[in-house]
Amino acid sequence: MAATGTDPHESRDTSGGEESAPGPPSRAGRLPRAMIWDLDGTLSDDAARAHFVEVEHGRARDWESYFDAIDKDPPIAASMEVLRAMHAAGIRVLFLTGRPEYTRPKTERWLEANGLTDYDRLIMRPEGERRPAGYFKVEAVARLRDEYELVCAFEDRIDVAEAIRLAGVPVFLYGAGAEAAAEALEVLDVRQDDLTSGGDPRAGRQRRGSA
């Protein structure tokens, strides 16, 4: 489902009385909390197809072959553990990926095959979008903030992680390995009460990629 700019929470005056100046909305009190997950290299292990887009000896990147094999990726176990733990704490799941829109059917099959069916959104690179991933992802984040309280995001690319952080969302910077994921889970375990009770997960210990 593509992100939209419509605010479904927009209120209307149905009292029939005199209009009063609207006050600022209480965002935290009315918006569901959610986390944003990248897919390639963050949740799905794309190591077996990464050679298609590596730049060496002047060879052009073969994005078509890279995306053609997305359904063969194994999930990154530590990332799955973090996602499931946070989801169990009541945090909704939003997938925001640089995969092009035409890969949606394969991506949805991969998510279903790995038990990831309870998510709110799967936002993909729109057809014709040629800019680096950070540009369209930041624009998507801006729209999502009208619908969700964004607790944090998970990314494997430093440039995209920094762009999202500058947009005001705390970021866990993941590699394809489990070390960063294990660190994130450790922080999650320490802050489980905050996540459940609506506290600010950005307070306290500094996280990788959020400085």
> What pLDDT, in 10s, does the model give residues 123-175?
999 888 888 888 999 999 999 999 999 999 999 888 888 899 999 999 988 76
Indicate whether 211 belongs to any domain. Answer: no
Indicate whether 91 belongs to any domain. Answer: yes
Q: What is the pLDDT of residue 24?
A: 39
Indicate whether 151 belongs to any domain. Answer: yes
Instruction: Report which of 29, 183, 99 is spatially closest to residue 110, judged by C-alpha positions.
Output: 99
Q: What is the pLDDT of residue 1?
A: 35
Confidence of residue 103 (pLDDT cuts 50, 70, 90): very high
Indicate whether 2 belongs to any domain. Answer: no
Helix (H, G, I), strand (E, B) or coil at 79: helix
Q: At what angle do helices 158-166 and 133-144 cross, to 10 degrees?
A: 30
Confidence of residue 204 (pLDDT cuts 50, 70, 90): very low
User: Per the structure block, which two tokens stand in for 139?
Assistant: 């624009």
Contact of 136 with 125, CB cutoff 8 Å: yes
Indicate whether 1 belongs to any domain. Answer: no
Average per-residue pLDDT for the chain: 74
Q: What is the pLDDT of residue 65?
A: 72
Instruction: Report which of 132, 178, 143, 155 is spatially closest to residue 38, judged by C-alpha positions.
Output: 155
Indicate whether 46 belongs to any domain. Answer: yes
Contact of 148 with 30, CB cutoff 8 Å: no
| Strands (DSSP E) found in 21-62 | 33-37
**Within 10 A of 75 (CB to CB), how many other CB atoms are there?**
18
Q: What is the pLDDT of residue 26?
A: 43
**Domain at 39, CATH number:** 3.40.50.1000
**Structural domain boundaries, residue 63:** 28-197
Which residues contact residue 121 at a Cβ distance below 8 angstroms, ignoring those fewer than 6 apart?
1, 3, 94, 95, 96, 144
Give the Cα separation of 126 and 83 in Å (integer): 25
Indicate whether 54 belongs to any domain. Answer: yes
Number of domains forming the structure of the chain? 1
Give the Cα separation of 180 and 170 in Å (integer): 15
Indicate whether 16 belongs to any domain. Answer: no
Q: What is the pLDDT of residue 174?
A: 74
Tell me the Ramachandran region of residue 95: left when phi exceeds 0, alpha when psi lies from -120 to 50, beta otherwise. Answer: beta
**pLDDT score of 37 more than 70:** yes
Contact of 57 with 41, CB cutoff 8 Å: no
Q: What is the pLDDT of residue 198?
A: 38
